[in-house]
Structure 1
Amino acid sequence: MPAVIFDPEASPDELIPVRFGADNAWTAQFYIRQPIFDAGAFVGVGTAGRFRALQEEVVRGQAQQTASRVRRAYYAALLAREDVRLVGESIR
């Protein structure tokens, strides 16, 4: 830098060494992103509701299937008992 800037009596050819910057220069950035609207969330909620309804129907179907199996087993036991009684009567 010309010395004339700082000293008017200095020679116009005289230069003053100038150091730019700092020894300990730091730079930091902080970035935050917050979406205001996310359409995917609504799709997920709707899908979750449908999946829950489907699972409730699956559970209901399994309960009905279990009840039907119990009824068949009960009637099979009654039939077997009646068969035993009839065989016993036919032997006498």
Structure 2
Amino acid sequence: MAANNVANNIGKEQILEIAKSEMEYRVELFNRLTKICFDKCIEKRYKESELNMGENSCIDRCVSKYWQATNLVGQLLGSSRPPM
């Protein structure tokens, strides 16, 4: 019975490590996406406190293209997750 508990603990630890790794990956992917689209779409001099229509459209297109490209590369590499 004790061996079974040890096996369960190892399994739980591995699951937690995988979940932690996946969360870190997703945060890094989101941060990369945010930086790329912000640098591309937002003017360096802020004129208004909210995004204008052009900036909103640019960000929408940028995010869409980013996801399409990363998913395509992921499929070409045979991975279930897109590369960074």
| TM-score in terms of structure 2 length | 0.49
Larger Rg: 1
Which has a greater percent of helix?
Answer: 2
Give the TM-score taking structure 1 as reference length.
0.45
